[in-house]
Structure 1
Amino acid sequence: MTTASPPTVDGADRRTPSTGRAAAPSPVAAAAGWLVKNPLLVLLVVMVAGVQLATGSQLGWGNLRGVFLDAAVIAIVAAPVAMLVIAGYIDLSVGSTLALGGVVAGKVVQSGGSPLVAVGCALLAGAAVGVVNAVLATVFGLSSFIVTLGMLTAVRGVAQLVSPLPLSNFGEAFGFLGIGNIAGIPLPALLAVAVLLAAGVFLTRTPAGRHVYAIGVNREAAYLSGVDVRRIPFLLFVTSGAAAGLAGAITVARLNSAPAGQLGAGFELSVITAVLLGGIALTGGEGSMVDVLVGVLFMGLLRNGLTLLGVTTFWQNVASGLALVAAIAIAAGTHVVRGRMQAREAHRPDEPATAG
């Protein structure tokens, strides 16, 4: 008598009638498979360990708090941008949208508005930018890369029109949004965790989230399957814009200043780098919020580690650029290796049947 083998992960039992239990992968193969699936996480651990040994200060709470504050703003925007990339789109306008949201929030506070009203106005300003991006990219079918690249410049100009001169001194109540703590944890970090959790639940637990992947894998096939291939990306663009507006309000509250010309400059590259470092494929249809979190933390801890090691800002910019190139190379290499491992696993012979 032969022992029955368990079904595969998709529920199908692919044994031929004459085979028994499939051979378990060796520990080396299992470790190699884990490394292929999580290369950035391994690099993150190695990097943090190296900087900690060299400086003795990276894992101190005072230092980590600053890292979390910087990373939180990126994470808030990276979550919806990652969903757009998974769906086969991109949003390069988030840096200027952050600036617009920031100056709008600053104007509202200086006009006597409450911090909540200021945040609401920042969200609306960002969402308005998202609507324009969405209409051009999903309704008119223009390239999201070209559309949002153009909006990157246009929205920066709008922000400077709203506030030609830098704003400052917004008061302690509004400042709490950027530097306040709840139970000892920075408020922006808590907001970032909430956004990542909400995005993760949306992607994995809702039909619309699964449709995001379907659109990214094959837009035409998704359409033929009844998926609304316009509405979902449209809403993602609006969400991305609103998140950038919120990030602008948080940034202005933290800095206590809102220079429209410099606020959020280069922010879009930080977001895209974190998204790609996390393994979100530019080709669409692949990625998760856990990947985004790892990418954001890697970028934040990389810059922080270089600062602790005394590396100048210029070389930090070089490192960030190289990290973006490395992200694409790692993603491509991981995809190839993973495909080969899956093909090898599919052709691996089963163990001989055991006698009963």
Structure 2
Amino acid sequence: MILRRLPSALLESVVRTPLLVILIVLVVGVQLATEAFFGWSNVRGILQDSAVIAIVAVPVAMLLIAGYIDLSVGSTLALGGVVASLVMDKGAGNPALAVLLAVLAGAAVGLINAFVVVVLGLNSFITTLGTLTAVRGVAQLVSPVPRNNFGDQFGLLGVGTLAGIPFSVWIAAAVLLIAAVFLSLTPAGRHVFAIGVNREAAYLSGVRVKVLPFWLFGLSGAMAGFAGTIVVARLNSAPAGQIGSGFELVVLTAVLLGGVALTGGEGGIFGVIVGVLFYGALNNSLVLLGVTTFWQAVASGVALVAAIGLSSMTHVLRVRLAAARAQRLAAA
């Protein structure tokens, strides 16, 4: 049943993601201008950068769909990275243990957010804005000096490949596929949308309006901690004050560009994929075109504003189309 419904769910996602057309125009235009975009080394670099964003963007997107936001993922990524670096310092530790502890550290942050927001009822924006700063401070306390040289085994997580494709890309693809099936084809996934549309109505319908968001916050933290291990493995260095700085805005931009609404109740994993790839392709295109770092920062800021604007406009358009469809059905 699930496999039969998957193609129609994907088709609906494609139709609801106008950014896909813009992405195609962007990459074709840059290829014509530079003749370098579709080189495998360039594409692989985009995929590697996008993979880390995608791994964290999935739970962030699901939280937004449910009507919550997590701004602490950048700092949680840094914490996960430095925890892994402590285990692997000078290559003497166990890579599996390093990843496990990083994920647990991230999950702890996520569950703290969940308790404050879901159980105590505080605003998720304010709460995670506070933990963004607090967790960054904890990461710097845990590792006040940069650490490096984590060994070849741990480095495989960041730079290793399978069939010529980086491990991180395979991991991101698996995460995206699992999330797509969960959101589109399972009762719990549909409940995430119901909570975002109308929490009170969802509660009256028997949906566990606190349980799902609680665990989604935990998942968001865990995936950010895991992403931190990929980043430090790729860099072979862990400067706590710099890892993941501004990463929460990168993730939020990609998610909003992909059609996930700030107001909750709308979005999909296909859109997240397109948003992540668009963000990665945009930054890479600016580099290929020789745009300076300062203007790249300006472009990222403009992309965030555009993402919010696009999200708002598509939300209004969908509401109007739904109203028009309802009127036609009533008239018939």
Alignment of 1:265-344 (within 5 A): 265-344=245-324
User: Percent identity, aligned pairs only?
Assistant: 67
How far is 1:205 from its partner? 2.1
CA contact (8 A) 1:36 1:334 kept: no
Is 2:32 the partner of 1:53? yes
Return the alpha-carbon distance in structure 2 between the equivalents of residues 109 and 326 of structure 1: 41
Between the aligned partners of 1:193 and 1:40, the Cα distance in structure 2 is 20
8 Å Cα contact 2:13-2:270 kept in structure 1: no
What are the residue-to-residue correspondences of 1:8-87 with 2, within 5 Å? 37-87=16-66
Moved more, 335-344 or 134-143: 335-344
The alpha carbon displacement at 1:39 in A equals: 1.9
Separation (CA, whole Å) in 2 of partners of 1:226 and 1:266: 38
User: Which amino acid counterpart does residue 88 of structure 2 have in structure 1?
Assistant: V
Higher helix share: 2
- Normalised by the size of structure 1, how large is the TM-score? 0.86
Aligned counterparts of 2:318 and 2:182: Cα–Cα separation in 1: 26
* 1:206 Cα offset (Å): 1.8
Name the count of aligned residue pairs: 317
User: How far is 1:338 from its partner?
Assistant: 3.6
User: 1:62-121 deviations in whole A, cap 9, x for unaligned?
Assistant: 100000110000000000000000000000000000000000001111273211111001
**C-alpha separation in 2, matches of 1:34 and 1:162:** 42
Does the Cα contact within 8 Å between 1:93 and 1:148 map onto a contact in 2? yes
Q: Find the counterpart in structure 2 of residue 21 from structure 1.
A: none
Q: Distance in 1 between matches of 2:294 and 2:253?
A: 17
Report how far residue 334 of structure 1 moved. Answer: 2.2
> 2:65 matched to 1:91?
no
Contact 2:107 2:220 in 1 (8 A): yes
The yes-or-no answer on 1:154 pairing with 2:134 is yes
Asked which structure has the greater CA Rg, the reply is 1
SS at match of 2:36: coil
- Matched AA of 1:276: L
Whole-Å separation in 1 of the counterparts to 2:179 and 2:328 = 37
Please, which runs of 5 or more residues in structure 1 have no aligned partner? 1-32, 350-356
Is 1:204 the counterpart of 2:220? The answer is no
1:166 to 146, 155, 161: 146
Gaps of 5+ in 2: 1-11
- The superposition leaves residues 220-240 of structure 1 with CA deviations (integer Å, 9 ceiling, x where unpaired) of 011111111111000000000
Does the 8 A contact of 1:83 with 1:236 survive in 2? Answer: yes
TM-aligned CA distance change 1:226 to 1:348, over 3 Å: closer
After superposition, the Cα gap between the structure-2 partners of 1:309 and 1:343, relative to the gap in structure 1 and judged at 3 Å, is: same
